Amino acid sequence: MDLPNRRTTRAKWHNYNDGVYHITLNSRDRIHSLGNIKDGELQLSELGQALKQYIESTHEHYPYAEIPIFQIMPDHVHLLVTIHQAEAQGRRKDDACIVQSCACIVQSTACIAQSTACIVQSSASTTQSTAPSLDPKMKKVSDRRGYLSTVIGGIKSATTKYANAHDIPFAWAQRFYDVIIKDEIQMTNTINYIKSNVTNWEK
């Protein structure tokens, strides 16, 4: 179940290297490989459990990315992804609100809404510096694909490798769907949508 009017291609005016995004990944042919929902309860499959671990460990592999809220569904997954370009390029996050935003997001929806503008407003100031990357190899890949695509590609690749290693028939749809979060209202609506996905599945 996806939000209406999702864009299937990246926005040409945005480089996807900084900001907040609502991402949807679908399994190929919408096959229910990640779990099942019955009576409003989600039961993750073995592959769904592996995907959950990959999502939760994203920040360990990509220090510039955080996924504070997500929802795995039988045939797709919703992710709220924040990308901090300053972190990726080895710069200190000058705005204190960015540093605090992840913990804030985990605590409450209202807090997320309040911190969104702070994250988005900081994007402009962090994109001007050209400090060297902490990891030149990671920076080379990210500069070519965009930090967001690098993170999502890593999650998809890890899940596919797990499926192949455990003889689980599975493949992701080629594209992922993105919505750029621009303000507090959009953030709140997105969070509520992600949180209600399981409940609305059987409606």
Cα separation values, 159 from 20, 80, 113, 143, 195, Å: 23, 18, 30, 23, 22
53 part of a folded domain: yes
pTM, rounded to two decimals: 0.71
Here the CATH number for the domain that contains residue 113 is 3.30.70.1290
pLDDT of residue 89: 61
Whether 185 has a pLDDT exceeding 80, the answer reads yes
Task: Give the residue-averaged pLDDT of 152-161.
Answer: 96
Whether 66 is covered by a domain: the verdict is yes
Q: Is residue 7 part of a domain?
A: no
> Which domain, by its residues, includes 161?
19-200
Residue 153 has pLDDT above 60, yes or no: yes
The confidence score (pLDDT) of residue 130 equals: 30
- Can you give the pLDDT at residue 135? 44
60-89 tens-digit pLDDT: 999 999 999 999 999 999 999 999 876 656
**Mean pLDDT, residues 93-105 taken together:** 41
Handedness of CA 139, 14, 12, 22 (dihedral sign): positive
Q: Which residues contact 97 (CB under 8 A, 6 or more apart)?
A: 115, 118, 119, 122
In a domain, 55, yes or no: yes
Cα gap 196→185, rounded to integer Å? 17
Is position 4 within any domain? no
Residue 169 lies in a domain: yes
Number of independent structural domains in the chain: 1
Residues 120-141 have pLDDT tens digits of 444 433 333 333 333 454 444 4
How far apart CA 97 and CA 119 sit, in angstroms, is 7
